[in-house]
Chain A
Amino acid sequence: MSAQRIADVFTRAYLGVFFLYLFLPLIVMGVATFNSSRFPTVTPWQETTLKWFSALAADNQMWDALWTSFAVGLGVILVAVPIGVAAALFLSDLQTRAKPFIYGVMVSPLLTPGVIIGISTLIFWRPYGITGGYLLMVLAQSSFIAAYVMLMVMARMQRFDRTLEEAALDLGATHLQTFRRVTLPYLRPSMLAACLIAFLQSFENYNTTIFVRGIDTTLTVYIASKVRTGVTPAVNALGLILISVTILAAIVYEIRRRRELAATAAAAARARADEKAEIAAAVPATA
């Protein structure tokens, strides 16, 4: 019992340290937004200011780049997640001696430096009239992001009780029904996580994107190009806004969830009360 308590205390302490580690850079970045120094730092502190937010508001290039990044990220989810799931299903059922080789080929994009994926994709598609731009960014990024998706889905697949699918089929479900009602729901958590990873990977990709971007610019490419003249805290301001929006969305979601919970609880209580009243009304009648 006391060992359990020690473990609890330890867990709490560990969670604290872990999240401090996780948020330390964000705190530094966030605070630097309010330092007037043109270089995003907290030391030396020059003057407290809000000017970097107006600098951000005026930076049209940054906003354009942000929308491009969102669009590419969504495209990558649409392409890479179905591919990754398909590849995971494919590999899970593959029974051949060549399996390690095929697996090796499938994970190879993760080990290939981004610059090579970018250049080789560009060179490969050029003869077909597809040059740098939105489509190629999505394709090039998906080529390696699909491998992440595959790995994540496969890890979940491994714990899947495949007799469930067989049972469904035996009970007369069609293949499509089985897939929709049994397989997909089981894979759902890993697919959601994969969507998230795919989006974030796309959002921050640089090495591949610079070669296939054509005349489009994503946020990361834009920020990276700033090293020529020096990154300014306007970039931090954007980061701070993205974080705040995420937290705000989470809070709104939580409030709504609680309200719904309360509403259903109230409804349930009312229903119970009605039921009681009905019973109460019914009882004397029968009595």
Chain B
Amino acid sequence: MSVLLQRYGWALTSIIVGLTVLWVVVLVVLPQITMIDYSLRPNLPLPQRDGPNDVLTWANYTTLAGNEIHRTIFVKTIWASALVTFLTFLVCYPIAYHLAQVATGPRAALLVLLLIIPFWINEILRTFAWWIILAYSGPLNIALMALGFIDEPIRYLSGNSGVIIGMVYAYILFMVFPLYNAMESLDRNQIEAARDLGAPVWRIHWRIIAPHAKPGIATGCIMTFMLAAGSYAVPALLGSPGSRWFTEIIYNWFFEGGNWNQGAAYAFILLILCIVFIFAMMRVFRVGLGDIAK
């Protein structure tokens, strides 16, 4: 706190601390406590609440351990989200680099505009458009057949491929912007110097740009991973029963089953394990929290 005070003075500091505390306490923690309370209680109809059956219980949490289908889907959600994150990174890195270091003023602005335009259309429609493209008698199959690449239409929507294509697409902005933000502050002279000294392109990226962009990479990956793990619309529309997402199970508890207590418990498990997973990954890749939040 003293650092803040020193840097911003008491007036700004109290605004900063005030807003942060307001957000964390009133908008995040307190409402969530209601849900944690739900997760620790059995699902009872309203008139039975506070009755003798309304006791604290871990039962909602142990359900996951006893249900093999849910466990499998849970594990799959984690690794598939990691895969989506990795692919999104690969797709976005060149674009972010181009924007930050190659393209100049107006051209960069134009590219940013092009990037944003698709996101004017809401996720349901964008995902739905992918559904049409990938459908059995959709334009992709028709085009491929007309060109003679395939003889029989392919069912893209019956495996994981539809979900992955749709998710990478959905989270492009969340990866490009952090990468761009971090790369943009790199002095172009460093790249020139490395080039003049004869460094090949891949080494310039590996040794200069990537290390500089590390906080952006970490931020982008964290956001994408969380979005992917918490995604609902994409797997629900582009997924098949074989590629179900853990969030679909949670929603199923809430909606189909009408069991908020069980759903809240599952959501809480997902939240905790994802945060653990993120910290584990940061350790593996030696990205400290300090790199993201200095």
Chain A residues in the interface with B (C-beta under 8 A)? 3-4, 7, 11, 14-15, 18-19, 21-26, 28-29, 32, 40-44, 82-83, 86-95, 99-100, 102-117, 119-121, 123-124, 139, 142-143, 146, 148, 151-152, 154-160, 162, 165, 169, 174-176, 178-179, 189-190, 193, 196-197, 200, 203-204, 206-207, 219-220, 223-224, 231, 235-236, 239, 242-243, 246-247, 250, 254, 257
Contact = CB atoms under 8 A, between A and B. Distances in A.
24 contacts: A4-B201, A18-B91, A22-B169, A26-B129, A86-B17, A90-B4, A90-B20, A93-B3, A111-B229, A114-B230, A116-B32, A119-B35, A123-B34, A146-B23, A152-B219, A155-B178, A157-B293, A193-B181, A197-B173, A207-B232, A223-B124, A231-B125, A242-B120, A246-B120
Contacts of A236: 125
Contact of B106 (A151, A246, A254): A254
Interface in B82-114: 91, 94-95, 98, 102, 106, 110, 113-114
Nearest to B9: A175
Given A87-B19, A89-B4, A142 B27 contact: yes
A156 B186 CA distance: 11
B7 A28 contact: no
Given A25-B169, A110-B227, A116-B267, A206 B117 contact: no
B131 to A, nearest CB: 9
Given A104-B279, A204-B123, 8 more contacts: A11-B94, A18-B94, A22-B115, A25-B130, A43-B132, A155-B216, A158-B291, A162-B7
A44 B138 CA distance: 8
Interface in B242-294: 247, 250-251, 254-255, 260, 263-264, 267, 270-271, 274-275, 279, 289, 291-294
A206 B8 contact: no
Interface of B: 3-4, 7-9, 11-12, 15-20, 22-24, 27-32, 34-35, 91, 94-95, 98, 102, 106, 110, 113-126, 128-130, 132-133, 135, 137-139, 142, 169, 172-174, 177-178, 180-182, 184-185, 195, 200-201, 215-216, 219, 222-223, 226-227, 229-230, 232-233, 247, 250-251, 254-255, 260, 263-264, 267, 270-271, 274-275, 279, 289, 291-294
6 interchain residue pairs of minimum CB distance: A175-B9, A25-B129, A86-B19, A143-B27, A120-B31, A204-B122
A178 B49 CA distance: 55
A218 to B, nearest CB: 10
Contacts of A4: 195, 201
A151 B178 contact: yes
B11 A105 contact: no
Contacts of B4: 89-90, 93
Given A90-B17, A90-B20, A113 B250 contact: yes
Contact of B35 (A116, A193, A223, A254): A116
Contact of B22 (A83, A114, A231): A83
Given A90-B4, A93-B3, A155-B292, A220 B124 contact: yes
Given A43-B138, A143-B23, A92 B267 contact: no
A250 B113 contact: yes
B95 A15 contact: yes
Contact of B30 (A3, A29, A124, A250): A124
B178 A7 contact: no
Given A3-B201, A146-B23, A203 B223 contact: no
Contacts of B7: 93, 162, 165, 169, 175
Nearest to A200: B119
Contacts of A102: 24
Given A29-B125, A143-B23, A41 B267 contact: no
Contact of B129 (A29, A121, A204): A29
Contacts of B12: 175-176, 179
A14 B173 contact: no
A130 B173 CA distance: 34
A176 B227 contact: no
Choose among B123, B125, B247 the residue with the greatest number of A CB atoms under 10 Å from its CB: B125
Contacts of B110: 250, 254
A158 B227 contact: no
Nearest to B204: A7
A176 to B, nearest CB: 7
Contacts of B32: 108, 112, 116, 120
Contacts of A109: 28
B94 A197 contact: no
